[in-house]
Amino acid sequence: MKTPFVLAALALTLPGLASPGLRAAAATGTSGITALSAKVSSDYVRARLPDGSFEPEEYGFGEGGRLDGTFHDASIDKLTFLDIARALAGPLAAQKYVPTKSLDSEKLLIVVFWGTTIVTDPLNRSLGALTRNGSIMYTDLIQRDIQAAKNAKILGYDSESLVQSDFGDFFTKSGMPGLLQSELVSEIEENRYFVVLMAYDFQAFRKGTKHKLWETRFSINELHNEFDLVLPAMAQYASAYFGQDTHGLLRKPVPEGNVRVGEPKALGEAEAPAK
């Protein structure tokens, strides 16, 4: 296991540290629906203290990678993995997930993925491609469905009761009263900012076993939003489900309120934990 995963957690969660890549923002300057889906392994149960609160669990960060969207977007392109991790550190701490002190005490390796979903060209979604003999091949429609299925899995929209398709499970069948299926489909066919956290058993990981304990996926539409502004509010909302199960897809307007980011502070160099 590479120590940068651990060092990231040690450096990113110290009080007062903020990311120079994230801007102070009021969440009311954003708009859209925040979608959230979280799942937990059947063998993951958080211990509680006598007062009923969760017992702290140590973690280290791992960089899963970024998915680039359809268009250039400075609000996400300029952010580094450390910027993303810093935005997540506070919400994780609110749920008693704390930075690791050593490799031997670390319980979780939290791998972070982020980016913008890819959509097909909206001008060609309903158009077919003509072959030489004049017959219509609905190539664009097929590509749209394939990409929609991929987006659904990234965003967690495949967590409801589903209708099967040839390219994946992404159409919601039931479970969300008053919500039209077409509304969900339109959401996965638009560019959406997303963050995915996958928490693995770190001690098992060190021994070569990749056992995922929980995952949380949250997203919001790219249109009318800027990733560096909306990320703190999204992470704060999603944090209530870190290590918890949503039992399906949750959707709500972007959280309202003020999200403030302080000035960066120098930490100096952190020493690598003993192996």
Q: How far is CA 248 from CA 38, 159, 169, 172, 194, in A?
A: 8, 5, 14, 10, 17
Q: How far is CA 132 from CA 127, 136, 143, 161, in A?
A: 16, 10, 20, 41
What is the C-alpha separation between 152 and 175, in angstroms, rounded? 16
Overall fold of domain 4-118+191-259 = Double Stranded RNA Binding Domain (3.30.160)
Q: What is the pTM of this model?
A: 0.76
What is the C-alpha separation between 20 and 32, in angstroms, rounded? 25
Strands (DSSP E) contained in 6-56 are 25-26, 33-40
Give the CA count within 13 Å in the CB-facing half-sphere of 213: 21
Instruction: Considering the chain, tell me which residue range(s) the CATH 3.30.160 domain(s) occupy.
Output: 4-118+191-259
Q: Answer whether 27's CB lies under 8 Å from 224's CB.
A: no
| pLDDT tens, the chain, 275 aa long | 444 454 455 444 444 455 666 765 544 456 788 999 999 999 999 999 999 999 999 999 999 999 998 788 999 999 999 999 999 999 999 999 999 988 899 999 999 999 999 987 654 444 444 444 444 455 666 777 788 888 889 999 886 544 333 334 444 444 444 445 677 778 888 899 999 999 999 999 999 999 999 999 999 999 889 999 999 999 999 999 999 999 888 888 865 544 444 443 333 333 333 43
Cα angle for residues 246, 24, 220 (degrees, 5° grid) = 35
